[in-house]
Amino acid sequence: MPELPDLEVIKDVLVRRLVGRRIAEVVVLRPLVVRVLDPDATPESFLVGRTVTEVARCAKFLRFALDDGGWMAINAMLAGRLRYTPAAQRARVRDYVRLRFDDGATLSYHDAKGMGKVYLTRDLDAVPAYRDTVPDALSSDLTAEAFVERLRPFRGEIKGILTRGEAVGGIGNAYGDEILFEAGIYPFRKRSTLSREEQLRLYDAMRAVLVWAIEVLRERVGDRIDVEVRDFLRVHNKAGHPCPRCGRPISEITVAKRATSFCRSCQPGSLIRN
Report CA dihedral (171, 172, 178, 184) to the nearest 10 degrees: 80
Question: Can you give the residue ranges of every domain in the chain?
Answer: 4-126, 144-262
Confidence at residue 274, expressed as pLDDT on a 0 to 100 scale: 47
d(CA 81, CA 225): 8
Query: Do residues 246 and 211 touch, judged by C-beta distance below 8 A?
Result: no
Name the fold adopted by 144-262: Helicase, Ruva Protein; domain 3 (1.10.8)
Please give the average per-residue pLDDT across 151-174, as a whole number. Answer: 94
Interval 87-136: pLDDT, tens: 877 778 889 999 999 999 999 999 988 899 999 999 999 999 887 778 99
pTM of the model as a whole? 0.91
159 is catalytic: no
Is CATH 3.20.190.10 the right assignment for the domain spanning 4-126?
A: yes
| Interval 215-257: pLDDT, tens | 999 999 988 999 999 999 999 999 999 999 999 999 999 987 8
Give yes or no: 234 in active site: no
Q: 152, 220, 258, 268: which is the annotated catalytic residue? A: 258
Q: Is 220 a catalytic residue?
A: no
Q: What percent of the chain has pLDDT over 70?
A: 99
Q: How far is CA 15 from CA 79, 114, 192, 206, in A?
A: 22, 25, 41, 25
| Alpha-carbon Rg for the chain in angstroms | 20
Q: How many CB atoms lie within 10 A of CB 194?
A: 19
Task: Reply yes or no on whether 228 is catalytic.
Answer: no
- Give the separation between CA 65 and CA 240, rounded to whole angstroms: 45
Task: Say if residue 78 is exposed, middle or buried (CB neighbours under 10 Å; 0-12, 13-18, 19+).
Answer: middle
Q: Is the pLDDT of residue 273 over 60?
A: no
